[in-house]
Structures are given as structure tokens and as C-alpha cells.
Structure 1
Amino acid sequence: MPSREPNDSDGVRIQDTVRLSAQGLAKVLGDLEARVMRVAWVLGRPASARVVHERVVMEHAVAIHTVITILNKLVEKGLLRREKQDDLLHYEPTLSEDEFRTKASRQVVEGILSFGADAVTASFVDVLAERDPEQFAELARLIEKRMKEQGSR
């Protein structure tokens, strides 16, 4: 059955499902996919499956064949590119971690807004004010900046 993931114009697909109980990137990627992507970003260069596996296995016991399967799934999703170097396939990210977080965050917010913008906005403001007052103040600054930009159009 074909993937139900949206396909952006840049070829990157992020799954529609958000796992609320997962941490960080694993909310929109699988746990192992998130670990593999973190390794790829930390390496910052094309790397063989063996190099990626050596890093992943430091914190999570997994077979190299499983890592290869995950690497290839991430290629299919457009998050990694694969190229042969010295008779070995090497993998590297197509987006920086910040670019991925921005893209994934936007997609999650767009999905959440389908609950109703009023309820979501109020909940977001309340939770942010409770958890991180400094980020709450930054949100106020960003809103003010955007309102000024829209007013000058």
C-alpha cells in the first residue's frame, strides 16, 4: 500500500501521524528514524551505513541491517540522499536539523489548527506562559512584529 504521507514540493515527506507520547523528533519520525537522523546531522558529512550504525549502537542496541533499512526509508522520505563513494553507499541529510524542525513544526501546527483556531491558540498561549515565560515573551514580540508588517502592507 502506498505511503499516506504528504509530499512537499521539495520531495521531503513527513508523516501525518504525531505521537504525542514520544520525545523530540520521534513525535514525527519513528524512534529509530529520529536516532539515525540525529547521527546524520551530528556527523555533518556523507557517511556509510557502518559509520551510522557504530554511532547509533552506542545508545541503542540494533542490528546493522535494521539501520540500513531505516537509512533507505529515510532516503524514500527525502530526508537523506544516498550516493556511492568508494564502492560503498554513503548517506547525508537533505535538510539541516533546523530546517527539518521548522518544516515538521509547521505541518504539526497546521494539523492542530483543524481542532479550531480559537481553542488551539488559547491552549498554546496558556501552556507556553506556564512552561517558558521567556519564550512566551518572545512570542509576544513576534506577534507584535508580524502585526506591524501586516499593517504596513
Structure 2
Amino acid sequence: MSETAKQNTPSAERPRLQDTIRLSAQGFAKVLGDLEARVMQAVWDLGRPASARVVHERVIREHEVALLTVITVLNKLVEKRLLRRHKQDDLLHYEAAWSEEDFRAHAARRVVEGILSFGPAALASSFIDALAEHDPDQLAELERMIHERMQREER
């Protein structure tokens, strides 16, 4: 989904994310629950519509959890508009409503929008410092992206 398409996506179709960010969590668990993040990852890894049992088999490879718990989480993710559910061969199958890449971009944007409440200058400074510590090579990429965006704005 392109950036323009994401911006034009009606709010009724956007995923519902919690308003809090769990700083100590890793990856998507920052904006989803731990098990929700594991279930989403399993669905993305499968790359096709799958029954709850198939998703459960993926999840329990790394995290012991009951099948009924996974079913509950799958249905919550449908309510949050992250998954779609349909009947196939008399079984409910679940598939991702958003690609992993598109959801990552959406979640990151929501996090950044929340952090902007601290003020744009504080965000920019902190972001550059954190990026320099985490992945210095990305600073050059950030500079390129800034220049590209500025050129588009000038047009």
C-alpha cells in the first residue's frame, strides 16, 4: 500500500491499536499484546489463509498456549481490523488484512505521532541520537530521505 493510499484509507479500515506504547516490549508487542504480536507474526509467516489450528501449531513452536486462547486472540485481531476471517471447507480461516511491511509503517507512524507531543525538536534530536547509536549507517539514508522529501515539497 503506497503512502498516499495509506493516508487515504478511511479510518474505518485502519487497524485499531491501543493508545499506549509498551517501551519494554519488543517489535509489534509495543503496540499489540505479546500474544497478539506472536499470532500476527505466525499469520504473516504462513502467508496464506489459515485455520486457528494451523496458526496455533505455529505459535506453540515458541510459546506454549492453549488452542482456545489462540482462537480468542485471532478473533480480537479481527475486531482490531488486523485480520480478516472467512469460512473455507466448513472452518474459519484467518488472513492478514495488512502486510507486515504496511502494518510496521502504520504502527511506526502512530508511535511517532504520539511522541511528537513532546515537541518536534525533542523528537528530532532524540531520534538522530538513538539512530546514531543503533545503526550509524542509517544516518546517511535518513539524510537522503530528508533531501528527497524537501525536493518534493518544493515542487
Tell me the distance in 1 between the aligned counterparts of 2:14 and 2:30.
20
Q: Among 131, 136, 141, which residue is 1:133 paired with?
A: 136
CA RMSD of aligned residues (A): 1.1
Unaligned 5+ runs, structure 1: 1-6
Query: Percent of aligned pairs with the same residue?
Result: 67
Shift of residue 9, structure 1, vs aligned partner: 3.7
Matched, 1:144 2:139: no
Tell me the distance in 2 between the aligned counterparts of 1:88 and 1:26.
28
TM-score (norm 2): 0.91
Shift of residue 59, structure 1, vs aligned partner: 0.5
Tell me the distance in 1 between the aligned counterparts of 2:29 and 2:78.
17
Pick which of 7-16 and 128-137 moved more.
Answer: 7-16
Shift of residue 21, structure 1, vs aligned partner: 0.1
- Structure-2 residue corresponding to 1:85: 88
Shift of residue 141, structure 1, vs aligned partner: 0.5
- Structure-1 residue corresponding to 2:118: 115
Shift of residue 14, structure 1, vs aligned partner: 1.5
Tell me the distance in 1 between the aligned counterparts of 2:34 and 2:48.
22
Structure 1 segments, 4+ long, off by >4 Å, are none
Shift of residue 115, structure 1, vs aligned partner: 0.7
TM-score (norm 1): 0.92
How many matched pairs?
Answer: 146
Shift of residue 8, structure 1, vs aligned partner: 2.5
- Structure-2 residue corresponding to 1:28: 31
